[in-house]
Structure 1
Amino acid sequence: MVETPAIEVTQLVSHYGEREILHGIDMSVARGEIMVIMGGSGSGKSTLLRHLLGLHRATSGSIKLLGQDITRISAAEMFALRRQMGVSFQGGALFNSMTVGENVALPLREHTRLDDNTIQIMARMKLEVVNLNGFEDLMPGELSGGMLKRAALARAIALDPRLLFFDEPSAGLDPVASVELDELILNLQEAMGMSIVVVTHELESAFKIADRITVLDQGHILMIGTVDEVRASDHPRIVSLLQRQPRRDEVDAEAYLERLTRQLV
């Protein structure tokens, strides 16, 4: 019997206004797998993440999370599904008016009926998982960048989600803090068996944590493969991405002139 993927995206098309951003995306994430989504600026990776989180409406196609098509379920069903999802945003997105412990406890207060003492204990347990034991009474502004990322991760796993999403987890971190966060992600996968999606442009981090990598370019999937397969690819855009070479597109002179003068007619 074939196991149902944790995430299954089929022919996803997305627009911002009249502009098509994603062009028929097909991808899946197996249960317990770490999928890294990579691509240059404007490749569509952040848009794809927003769709996976149910924050942007698809033009067409389907997105199944844990077997439920989030393009068709009700708001109440989506709310219930989000209890099985954790998200760690790029900047941490902690509430500055709340302590670290209160931030981590927030999902437990919103989605469970546990008593206050139990919630506090569980919040401290999650902070211990991310090596922030004893920091629950500090305010977010008192934490370093790496500590903020780990506190955000503690909040993301507060409800023991089956799906965990990261938006640029290593952005703005020094190399040591970045490596520590990579190790934490791997440890979480091993200990909790979560399916994890990571959007990043950090090659070293991607190659360390990924089971597979999805490479996006201008809203198209160039390839989906293991780290070794991506490294071995001879696709010009993937080679440029891995070697950090600037994009050089050939310009159609007539099309360029038509685009510049379109509004003048």
Structure 2
Amino acid sequence: MNSHETIIEPVIEVENLVTHYGNTRILNNVNMQVNSGEIMVIMGGSGSGKSTLLRYLLGLHVPTSGSIRLLGHDITELNAKEMHELRKSMGVSFQGGALFNSMTVGENVCLPLREHTRLDENTMQIMSRMKLSVVNLGGFENLMPSQLSGGMIKRAALARAVIMDPKLLFFDEPSAGLDPVAAAELDDLILRIRKALNTTIVVVTHDLDSTFRIADRITVLDRGNILMIGTVDEVRHSDNERIQSLLNREARHVEIDADEYLRELTGQKSKPL
């Protein structure tokens, strides 16, 4: 092997992941890898399983079968203490920001430090102000979340997600509810954060403009199955009809059996043939 070749190492490895909600299979033999320093966008229509996949990547649920390796650890085999330790290397920015309304912006950003470190109060406040400056919220640490705009809340949530310089950063619909200008600003911020922290980022979104702006690669999900994983250009030029329908925002025609629907509503089982 050439000594100058760059070795690409996956920091997220999903193998044959199967999950159920009750008796309904949600994810069907999902396989994917996310490489170090990469921005991977997971996209798909409503009900495709993208948010479900994110929850399993975060270790919030135990899959039916398969494995999920984060930073070399199979999280399906970790106990609660080991998972707690691993989460120190992970940051999450939730869809609605998930800021605590009873705390100031600065106190919200400090939460991971209070949870996972023994730093003194002054050091935590300095770190909080530094991260708020990174997301263009310098001087806003004493405001309450109710005093912020939607875009500012998203940026404050991002500051909290990166307060411990995580190796893995996860976003759930980062541009949801934002106007196009605020969404574009957040996209630029995600790219800056990746460069500054050299972190690996996974983004779950249905926003095509955002996807094409920030993604190194895209995982396209449909009904719990991966349709393809590829670069922006590869996805754009895919000849898969479902992918093109998604990109062109074409409605999916769904056949509804009225009798079957009524039986489901009334709790009656289908009649045998």
Instruction: Answer yes or no: same fold by TM over 0.5.
Output: yes
Say if 1:264 and 1:198 are closer, same or farther in 2 by CA, change over 3 A.
closer
1:110 counterpart SS class: helix
Identify which of 140, 153, 161 aligns with 1:156.
161
Matched residue, 2:26: 21
Matched residue, 1:178: 183
- Report whether the alignment pairs 1:74 with 2:51: no
Q: CA deviation at 1:191?
A: 1.2
- Report whether the alignment pairs 1:263 with 2:269: yes
- Determine if contact 1:126/1:157 at 8 Å carries over to the other structure: yes
TM-score (norm 1): 0.95
Letter in 2 for 1:263: K
* Corresponding pairs, count: 262
- Report whether the alignment pairs 1:238 with 2:243: yes
Identify which of 226, 232, 247 aligns with 1:227.
232
Q: CA deviation at 1:109?
A: 1.1
- Determine if contact 1:36/1:197 at 8 Å carries over to the other structure: yes
Query: Residues of 1 paired with 2:206 and 2:218: CA distance?
Result: 11
Matched residue, 2:119: 114
Query: Residues of 2 paired with 1:11 and 1:36: CA distance?
Result: 19
Q: CA deviation at 1:9?
A: 0.3
Letter in 2 for 1:181: L
Return structure 1 stretches of 4+ with deviation > 6 angstroms. none
1:23-61 CA distance string (max 9 Å, x none) = 000001000000000000000000000000011110000
CA RMSD of superposed structures (Å): 1.6
Identify which of 136, 145, 157 aligns with 2:141.
136
- Determine if contact 1:4/1:67 at 8 Å carries over to the other structure: no
Matched residue, 2:4: none
Matched residue, 1:101: 106
Query: Residues of 1 paired with 2:68 and 2:259: CA distance?
Result: 39
2:171 counterpart SS class: strand
Query: Residues of 2 paired with 1:158 and 1:147: CA distance?
Result: 16
Q: CA deviation at 1:257?
A: 5.8
1:21 counterpart SS class: strand
Percent identity (aligned)? 69
- Determine if contact 1:34/1:195 at 8 Å carries over to the other structure: yes
